[in-house]
Amino acid sequence: MENTVIYGRNAVIEALESGSREFNKILVSQKSGADVKIEKIKELAKEQGIIFQFVAMQKLNQLVPDGRHQGVIALISPVKYTDLDDFIEKIGGNIVILDGNEDSHKVGAIIRTAVCAGIKGIILPSRRGVLINSTVEKTSAGAVNHISIIKVNSLTNAVQKLKENNYWVIASDHHAKDNYYDIDYSNMNFALIMGAEHAGISRSLLKLADFTVKIPMLTNFNSLNVSNAAAIILFESVRGRERKK
Amino acid sequence: MENTVIYGRNAVIEALESGSREFNKILVSQKSGADVKIEKIKELAKEQGIIFQFVAMQKLNQLVPDGRHQGVIALISPVKYTDLDDFIEKIGGNIVILDGNEDSHKVGAIIRTAVCAGIKGIILPSRRGVLINSTVEKTSAGAVNHISIIKVNSLTNAVQKLKENNYWVIASDHHAKDNYYDIDYSNMNFALIMGAEHAGISRSLLKLADFTVKIPMLTNFNSLNVSNAAAIILFESVRGRERKK
């Protein structure tokens, strides 16, 4: 199973009240009627800024097959998320932002390479795309424990906050005019946005970018795997810094 | 299922005699006794240079669950392999050599990126590591159809043949002194060897390399995914050529 789960109304309430677990999302059956406990879960989730999604019963049954979920399943992260403000204030360093990547293997691979390239934070949106689950943890080869993972409800707000804090925002987009090696990465704090493989980066984020870069291809087969594209750009930033030594 | 299979003694003999299918390997039960048809399969496979492996019955039952395999399963490739001599003589261009990579997803990702980087051939060893199966085809996003896939029984012989034909052999090895960006890739035909993720490149191949290069890391977390490592080196070769234009 990709996700560690907590299920059943009482178990989810307990976990929310204990504050000891790191939630990705709470999934609730669309068929849940007016129910005191479901209302309580909703309220606690809202207080703690946890995404609460109504889903089909089928989806819940896929996650917990024998129906013991009582219409509520919480997806739990294997790692602790870092708050963006805390990251900026106390940690700092270059960041990769993943906009809507749904593939756990590729997210894991990107995090692994990001750590090797000296990146200090990964920003993931809490609604679109995968969060940290056991597949991401495994394919990252444990790298999720060597970097700050920042979960945000709005990527747009996060990017704006980064810009206010002197980050340069770089978007990888195959329509860009500049090549990824035309930038000098060595004299700035940067946040690199990688989009989903087919959809690319959402328009609202693209507009906020200070630089938009592409990876030039030697063939018409214009289709890099997003984790390889991230690796190419991130190691260009390493290369620049290493050469300046 | 990762592999297209043909199973049963008669079906495998027919496929071998027809010459219309591309074999990866033929798997035969260790318990197969003296049997005229198995002997015939062995003989035909030998004539055609196809690897013939004895495996436990359990392995065969995993591939064809209901036991109808009669102790013989042929693994079939979804693509046609190219002969190394034909490649050198009629096609030519830069090559990636995969030494013992067992992960279909990573092999597929490397082939996808190799096509984007203008690489013309991939060399895979017929014994160690994966050959082209449906998972490799899928994760390559169809790139397996845009590059020559060369299957060889000996990587050492293949590398020696490439050197005799004016290829420069580059080995990616994290013990190397030189960095991958210290080479000028633009004025040579190269063959880049990527090893398996933990084992690395076998000693006999490392000895044959003209250049050994590493990717410098910014952290002690020294563990790049092999497909990302290949992407970083291959796009350095693209970068060099693009900049010289």
Tokens 């995968």 label which residue? Answer: A130
Determine which of A119-133, B56-70, B110-124, B223-237 has the lowest per-residue pLDDT on average.
Answer: B56-70
pLDDT of amino acid B33: 72
Q: Mean pLDDT across chain B, nearest whole number?
A: 92
**SS3 at position B174:** coil
pLDDT at B120 over 70: yes
Confidence band of A66 (pLDDT split at 50, 70, 90): confident
Distance CA A52, CA A27 (A): 6
What integer pLDDT is reported at residue A220 of this predicted model?
Answer: 80
Instruction: Give the pLDDT score at A171.
Output: 98
> Which residue ranges form the domains of chain B, and what is each CATH number?
4-76 (3.30.1330.30), 84-244 (3.40.1280.10)
Length of chain A measured in residues: 245
Q: Tokens for A219?
A: 């063939």
A221/B113 touch (CB, cutoff 8 Å), yes or no: no
Q: What would the mean pLDDT of A123-128 be, rounded to a whole number? A: 92
Beta bridge partners of B192: B96, B170
CA atoms of A178 and B71, how far apart (whole Å): 58
Q: Which helix (H) or strand (E) holds B80?
A: none
Question: Considering CB atoms only, which of B222, B223, B231 is closest to A232?
Answer: B231
Task: Report percent pLDDT > 90 for chain A.
Answer: 78
Residue B245 has pLDDT above 60, yes or no: no
pLDDT (tens digit per residue) in B3-61: 889 999 999 999 999 988 999 999 999 887 778 999 999 999 999 989 989 999 999 99
Mean of pLDDT values over B112-127:
96
pLDDT surpasses 80 at B129:
yes
Residue A212's SS3 state is strand
Residues of chain A with C-beta less than 8 angstroms from the C-beta of B221: 115-116, 143, 146
User: A170 falls in which pLDDT band (50, 70, 90)?
Assistant: very high
CA distance B97 to B209: 12
pLDDT of B241: 73
By CA distance, what is B142's nearest residue in A? A221
Residue B169 has pLDDT above 90, yes or no: yes
Q: Do B228 and A181 count as a contact with CB atoms less than 8 A apart?
A: no
Kindly identify which residue of chain B lies nearest to residue A110, measuring between CA atoms.
B228
Question: Taking residues A167-179, what's their average pLDDT?
Answer: 95
Whether pLDDT at A231 is above 80:
yes
Q: Are B72 and B41 in contact (CB under 8 A)?
A: yes
Cβ(A142)–Cβ(A170) under 8 Å? no
Q: Does A205 contact chain B (CB < 8 Å)?
A: no
Question: Tens digit of pLDDT for each residue in B188-207?
Answer: 999 999 998 888 999 999 99
Q: Give the model's confidence band at A24: pLDDT under 50 very low, under 70 low, under 90 confident, else very high.
A: very high
Is residue A245 pLDDT above 60, yes or no? no
Asked if A96 and A191 count as a contact pair (C-beta separation under 8 A), the reply is: yes
pLDDT at A222 over 60: yes
User: Which of A124, A56, A117 minimizes the C-alpha distance to A87?
Assistant: A124
Q: What is the value of pTM for the model shown? A: 0.89
Sheet of A95-98, strand order: A148-152, A121-125, A95-98, A189-194, A167-172, A211-214, A178-179
What local confidence, expressed as pLDDT, does residue B243 receive? 64
The secondary structure of B92-113 as a DSSP string is ---EEEEES---HHHHHHHHHH
Mean pLDDT in residue range A100-119: 95
| Predicted local confidence at residue A239, as pLDDT | 86
- Joined together, the tokens standing for residue B161 give 């043949």
CB contacts, 8 Å: B105 with chain A: 105
The predicted pLDDT at position A90 comes to 97
Whether chain B has a CB inside 8 Å of the CB on A138: the answer is no
Give Dmax over CA atoms of chain A in angstroms. 64
pLDDT at B107 exceeding the cut of 80 = yes
Integer CA distances (angstroms), A25 to A46, A56, A231, in order = 11, 15, 29
- The C-alpha atoms of residue B23 and residue B165 are separated, in whole angstroms, by 28
B244 pLDDT more than 70: no
CA atoms within 13 A on the CB side of A211: 21
- Work out the percent of chain A whose per-residue pLDDT is above 70: 98
Across residues A53-80, what is the average pLDDT? 90
Contacts of A227 in chain B (CB under 8 A): 109, 225, 227-228
In the predicted model, what is the mean pLDDT of residues A153-176? 96
| Both tokens assigned to B47 | 């004539």
Q: B82 CA to chain A: closest CA distance, Å?
A: 20
**pLDDT tens-digit readout, B72-89:** 999 999 999 999 999 999
Structure confidence at residue A243 (pLDDT): 64
- Tokens describing residue B31: 């318990």
Query: Which among B117, B112, B103, B119 is positioned nearest to B138, based on CA atoms?
Result: B112
**pLDDT given for residue B3 in this prediction:** 80
Averaged pLDDT for residues A89-98 = 97
Closest by CA to A48, choosing from A66, A22, A72, is A22
- Sorted by sequence, the CB contacts under 8 Å of residue A217 that are 6+ apart come out as A224, B116, B117, B118, B238
Give the model's pLDDT for residue A6.
Answer: 94
What's the half-sphere exposure (Cβ side, CA atoms, 13 Å) at B201?
A: 26
- Contacts for A40 with CB less than 8 Å, ≥ 6 apart: A13
Strands in chain B per DSSP E:
4-7, 23-29, 51-55, 72-76, 95-99, 121-125, 148-152, 167-172, 178-179, 189-195, 211-214
Please answer yes or no on whether A232 and B227 come within 8 Å at the CB atom: no
